[in-house]
Amino acid sequence: MLTAAYAYTDRLDRAEALCTEAVRTYETAGWSGGHLALAHAYIGLAHRRRGRLREAEEALRESLRLAERVGRGLPMYWTVSCNLVDTLLARGHVAEAWEAAERCGFAPPYPSTIIIPDPRSVRGRLLLALGRTKEGIGELEAAEKAAAVRGHHNPVTVPWATDLARALATEDPDRAGRLAAEVRRRAERFGTDTAIGEALRCAAALETGQRKVRLLAQAVTYLEASPCQYEHAAARVEYGIAAHSAAELERGLALARSCGADGLVTQARNALNAEHGLRQSAY
């Protein structure tokens, strides 16, 4: 529980130390079941939050291997599968994320226990990534209702509003704007650099022109101070695209490569190629 708290409050050194100690303790004691599976899952979470996506995937797949031996349907199994899907989406491996979700039964009905991150939010993001927008919006709206019932309003652990705002940007911009404003209010109340930076990225996604550029510049400033380097990389790439800055795109590309975020690498490389093409045509 302490590991999860540290992982989502930007204290990742402490989170990583605790779950690594847990793995060592369980292995020394000869344990190989659910406790060890959960410890590996939290190592994966720490890596995911830090932006070490390859290492996160490796730890989570090891956790899933151990969890399969204990049995499906347990809260531990949901925690592992949810974090694996989230990590694969961050890597840009959408087909693999869907395959993992199908194999693990990562779909409704959800358990009554608390799973972090919120499984409805993660599945909604998965459906959006697959292009199943209507289903994705429905899943995120279900996450909204479940969060309201439980009083869960942390935009980092229950991130439905960020993805829903982006999904509604075109068809219902007023609602999208209200959601983005609420995300920012809650992020500022929570107070971490990651939460505020991600809220600014969400707000920027609904804007155009110089307002978009300014919001993304602010997001980069916050996320550069955050230990969550994947989110920092994503903000850099988005800022580079909005500002037509090859230098920012190069920085974002380097960060994305170091994170193992293959989808973001492709996005940054394509944007750089387009930027170079524009410059050449200008001459």
**Over the Cα atoms of the chain, what is R_g?**
19
User: Does the pLDDT at position 233 exceed 90?
Assistant: yes
For residue 256, name the pLDDT band (cuts at 50, 70, 90): very high
**Distance (Å, rounded) from C-alpha 136 to C-alpha 163?**
9
CATH architecture of 1-150: Alpha Horseshoe (1.25)
pLDDT digits (tens, 9 = 90+) for 99-117: 999 999 999 999 988 899 9
pLDDT digits (tens, 9 = 90+) for 200-219: 999 999 999 999 999 999 99
The pTM score is: 0.94
pLDDT value at position 279? 67
User: Does the pLDDT at position 51 exceed 80?
Assistant: yes
pLDDT value at position 281? 62
